């Protein structure tokens, strides 16, 4: 069962070949046996999941209407609310916080019959590119347990790669769905900003964050997007668009589509990554696509721009964590000032503190004009350059990351770590849809990812191009050897 896609599991449930309870028990057993090796799940909800599964089986038996995700197990990144369950954001600060409401995506998934198995690990408050910043648990890459899974959605991608569940949700602020998906050899989709509701997502960078699905195939991504990709009145940034029929749209041919490649921006791409990228482009050419050169050299400023805007928004969003309203309060605090001071000192990890300091600095009275406002202007220029590029092509292709997954602890320089997201950050700044599709392996047998970027609101086209690529190069169906077994 672990090798079957979510679509196949859903169909078998509809055909009464298997019950929802059998599906849930199977994956709960797999998590129990294998999660200790990979550290993907922070918490598991066996009673909740089995109760939902039995209710689904009863609905099927009585002839009730079954949802589009009926019988499909899912995992949720632990910065997305599930009512009554812990939302820790992998931080000591929220180790005792139980969500008092469901995120919109949670309601939509369960409303269509999906069954939530548990919450997955992440970099603390989604701040990181390796999931090494989690304060609660270490997560490993299923292809090599000595390597990082990427971040910040490393737990979600590792769960899919190890086949602990077929679908998970992550959040993508600067590449945090796509980069770990590439590192773990699965598919990760970052929708257009506002295409999926952020209501119930613990905010990191409010103008950058976007919830996105992770799975082994683009068909499964499309299956989830049909449910999640709709307007939400609770989210002021939600796009007033209706859900699209992704599963039908991705089947259309892509012959004649123009794929833009920013060759000048990619000139420093390492040799092995470049070879992999060129092979991926050949696959697209084989489908009748034309590859054209586009100018996106402005993206060399994207990392600096991102880390000014993202940290500024983070320092504002994290101001609510004060030890008063919710979260863990310092036990040694005796005065109000000490409550604030000690709770934050003890609750936040080093990476979170670093970003709060930087964000507060760039927003301070003496430096806001020099840094934050300048970064906002560059962001507008980045959006303009993408718009000009899309006048010449239908989609843009780049690698996801300059390297495959690296060993744990291998990168100590913060700037070197930030550059892991150099090819993904521009997408968030410009609010575009993008997908990471597995594109083969390095000499060390670690996965590479191929990124397809679309114009804003062209989410279905991005999935369509990715699906066409997959048909010729189905790397996402490969399971890491250590986890390619029944338990």
Is 346 part of a structural domain of the chain? no
Residue 126 has what pLDDT?
A: 98
Catalytic residues: 77, 152, 176
101 φ, ψ (degrees, to nearest 5)? -155, 160
Is 357 part of a structural domain of the chain? no
Is 205 part of a structural domain of the chain? yes
Cβ contacts of residue 152 below 8 Å, gap of 6+? 122, 123, 126, 127, 128, 129, 131, 133, 170, 171, 173, 176, 180
Residue 154 has what pLDDT?
A: 98
How confident is the model over 317-371, as pLDDT tens digits?
999 999 998 899 999 999 999 999 999 999 999 999 999 999 999 999 989 999 9
Spell out, as residue ranges, where the chain has pLDDT lower than 50.
Answer: none
Is 361 part of a structural domain of the chain? no
Residues in the chain, total: 487
- CA-to-CA distance for 72 and 293, rounded, in angstroms? 41
Is 459 part of a structural domain of the chain? yes
CATH of the domain at 283: 3.90.1300.10
> What secondary structure does DSSP assign to 296-339, as a single string?
-GGGGGHHHHHHHHHHHHHHHHGGG-SSSSSSPPPTT--SHHHH
Is 269 part of a structural domain of the chain? yes
Cβ contacts of residue 63 below 8 Å, gap of 6+? none
Rounded to 5°, the CA angle 187-192-198 comes to 95
Residue 48 has what pLDDT?
A: 98
Residue 390 has what pLDDT?
A: 98
168 φ, ψ (degrees, to nearest 5)? -135, 165
Residue 326 has what pLDDT?
A: 87
> How far, in Å, are 204, 271, 336, 339, 458 from residue 171 at the CA level?
10, 30, 34, 30, 19
Number of domains in the chain: 1
- CA-to-CA distance for 163 and 261, rounded, in angstroms? 33
Is 322 part of a structural domain of the chain? no
Dig out the tokens for 56 from the structure: 């689904």
Count of C-beta atoms within a 10 Å radius of residue 380: 11
By residue range, what is the domain housing residue 431?
6-296+384-483
Is 47 part of a structural domain of the chain? yes
- Rounded to two decimals, the pTM is 0.97
């Amino acid at each position: 069962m672990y090798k079957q896609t979510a679509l196949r599991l859903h169909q078998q449930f509809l055909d009464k070949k298997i019950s929802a309870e059998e599906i849930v028990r199977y994956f709960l057993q797999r998590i129990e046996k294998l999660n200790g090796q990979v550290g993907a799940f922070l918490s598991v909800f066996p009673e909740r999941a089995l109760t939902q599964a039995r209710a689904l089986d009863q609905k099927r038996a009585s002839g009730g209407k079954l949802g589009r995700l009926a019988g499909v197990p899912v995992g949720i990144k632990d910065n997305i609310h599930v009512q009554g369950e812990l939302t820790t954001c992998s931080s000591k600060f929220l180790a005792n916080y139980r969500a008092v409401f469901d995120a919109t995506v949670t309601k939509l998934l369960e409303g269509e019959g999906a069954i939530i198995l548990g919450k997955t690990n992440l970099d603390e408050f989604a701040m990181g590119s390796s999931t090494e910043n989690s304060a609660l648990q270490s997560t490993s890459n299923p292809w090599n347990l000595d390597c990082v899974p990427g971040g910040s959605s490393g737990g979600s991608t590792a769960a899919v790669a190890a086949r602990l569940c077929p679908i998970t949700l992550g959040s993508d602020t600067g590449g945090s769905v796509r980069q770990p998906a590439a590192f773990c050899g699965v598919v990760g989709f970052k929708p257009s900003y506002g295409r999926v509701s952020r209501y119930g997502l613990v905010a990191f960078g409010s103008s950058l964050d976007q919830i996105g699905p992770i799975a082994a195939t683009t068909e499964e991504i499309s299956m989830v997007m049909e449910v999640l990709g709709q307007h939400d009145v609770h989210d002021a940034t939600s796009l007033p668009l209706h859900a699209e029929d992704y599963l039908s749209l991705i089947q259309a041919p892509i012959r004649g589509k123009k794929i833009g490649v920013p060759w000048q921006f990619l000139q420093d791409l390492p040799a092995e990554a470049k070879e992999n990228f060129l092979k991926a482009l050949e696959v697209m050419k084989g489908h009748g696509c034309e590859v054209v050169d586009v100018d996106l050299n402005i993206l060399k400023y994207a990392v600096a721009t991102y880390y000014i805007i993202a940290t500024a928004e983070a320092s504002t969003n994290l101001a609510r964590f004060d030890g008063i309203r919710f979260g863990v309060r310092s036990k040694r605090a005796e005065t109000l000032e000490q409550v604030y001071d000690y709770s934050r000192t003890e609750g936040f990890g080093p990476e979170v503190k670093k970003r709060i300091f930087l964000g507060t600095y760039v927003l301070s009275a003496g430096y806001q004009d020099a840094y934050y406002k300048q970064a906002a202007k560059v962001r507008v220029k980045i959006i303009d350059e993408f718009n000009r590029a899309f006048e010449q092509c239908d989609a843009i292709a780049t690698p996801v990351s300059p390297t495959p997954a690296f060993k744990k602890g291998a990168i100590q320089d913060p700037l070197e770590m930030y550059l892991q997201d150099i090819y993904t950050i521009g997408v968030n700044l410009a609010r575009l849809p993008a997908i990471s599709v597995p594109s083969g392996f390095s000499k060390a047998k670690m996965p590479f990812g191929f990124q397809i970027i679309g114009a804003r609101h062209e989410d279905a086209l991005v999935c369509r191009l990715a699906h066409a690529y997959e048909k010729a190069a189905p790397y996402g169906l490969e399971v890491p050897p250590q986890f390619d077994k029944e338990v």
